[in-house]
């Protein structure tokens, strides 16, 4: 009798514990959406805060420097007595480095992605993948000194007129830096193409090369374009490599063998203490930063448009 009462109490206790656990679980389930909302809101509010800061500080800059001078003058000389704030030299410096990086990274990255997804064995893939991950994890300051102390001396053996600080060396090294990003994302896009499409192409008598470039490539083109634009956005925003190996000479010349200055390198120069708080030079870094932000935003919007267009053509 006593043992049966003890058993009933134990069962009741277990039931109560389960009910309590269920209530706690229900409360936790209700809490999770709010927690995720707060996490998402932090990222959104941070982005809004950054954009508003850039806009408000840029307005202060344009109260002192005419908008026309900023976009039409061909000289960027903020530290002279007769200061000139023409963004074109910084913009061209950024563009030169980014184009060189694209020339290096796009063929290397896409070739690597095609090899890994279509041709490499599992053993080869296990060797190459970690090497790409190591390249992606190297700090950019290390890449900068690599460009200055190794790449530039090697290039000067080939191009004697190459200056110590130039656009060619950091452009090549930035291209090497963003190659793993293009390779990894493009490989994901190629691998995601259904096997049935490959098998259909092989069944029609296509070779592996024809299948890769005439069937798989168009199917994955939207993902490949996204990987290229994302990598180039990283190249445009790169700071330390161009600061160390590119120099600090804003120039409108298209010569890649001479010293340059990019938008990010200028921001680093001023932020390191070359200008006092509240001066026109200080506010100029926000104007340059907003220009860089708008440039990158336009690139991303263009990439989305191109990706959507190619995807719609393929699906139709």
Query: pLDDT tens digit string along 121-153?
Result: 888 888 888 888 888 788 888 898 898 899 999
| Buried residues in 24-44 as b, exposed as e (16+ CB within 10 A) | eeeeeeeeeeeeeeeeeeeee
More confident residue, 116 or 12: 116
pLDDT of amino acid 264: 86
The CA distance from 14 to 90, in Å, is: 71
Instruction: Calculate mean pLDDT across residues 113-119.
Output: 86
Does position 31 have pLDDT exceeding 50, yes or no? Answer: yes
Residue 179's contacts (CB-CB under 8 Å, 6 or more residues apart) are 104, 105, 108, 109, 112, 132, 135
In the numeric block, the tokens 């296509």 are attached to 206
List pLDDT tens digits, range 293-303.
Answer: 888 888 778 77
pLDDT of amino acid 311: 61
Structure tokens at 74: 């061909």
């Amino acid at each position: 009798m006593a043992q049966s009462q003890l058993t009933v109490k134990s069962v009741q206790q277990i039931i109560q514990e389960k009910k309590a656990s269920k209530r706690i679980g229900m409360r936790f389930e209700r809490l999770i959406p709010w927690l995720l909302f707060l996490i998402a809101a932090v990222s959104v509010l941070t982005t809004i805060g950054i954009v508003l800061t850039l806009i408000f500080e840029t307005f202060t800059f344009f109260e002192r420097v005419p908008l026309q001078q900023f976009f039409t003058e061909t000289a960027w000389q903020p530290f002279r007595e007769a200061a000139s704030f023409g963004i074109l030299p910084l913009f061209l410096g950024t563009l030169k480095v980014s184009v060189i990086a694209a020339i290096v990274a796009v063929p290397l990255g896409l070739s690597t992605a095609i090899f890994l997804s279509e041709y490499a064995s599992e053993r080869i893939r296990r060797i190459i993948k970690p090497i790409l991950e190591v390249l992606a994890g190297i700090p950019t300051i290390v890449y900068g000194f690599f460009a200055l102390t190794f790449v530039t001396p090697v290039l000067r053996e080939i191009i004697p007129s190459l200056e110590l600080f130039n656009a060619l060396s950091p452009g090549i090294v930035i291209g090497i830096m963003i190659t793993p990003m293009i390779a990894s994302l493009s490989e994901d896009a190629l691998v995601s193409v259904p096997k049935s499409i490959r098998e259909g192409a092989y069944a029609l008598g296509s070779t592996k090369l024809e299948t890769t470039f005439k069937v798989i490539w168009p199917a994955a083109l939207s993902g490949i374009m996204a990987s290229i634009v994302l990598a180039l956005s990283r190249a445009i925003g790169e700071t330390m490599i161009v600061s160390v190996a590119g120099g600090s000479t804003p120039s409108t010349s298209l010569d890649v063998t001479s010293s340059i200055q990019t938008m990010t390198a200028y921001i680093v120069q001023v932020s390191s203490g070359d200008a006092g708080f509240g001066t026109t030079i200080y506010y100029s870094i926000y104007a340059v930063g907003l220009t860089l932000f708008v440039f990158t935003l336009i690139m991303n919007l263009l990439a989305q448009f191109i990706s959507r267009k190619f995807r719609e053509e393929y699906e139709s």
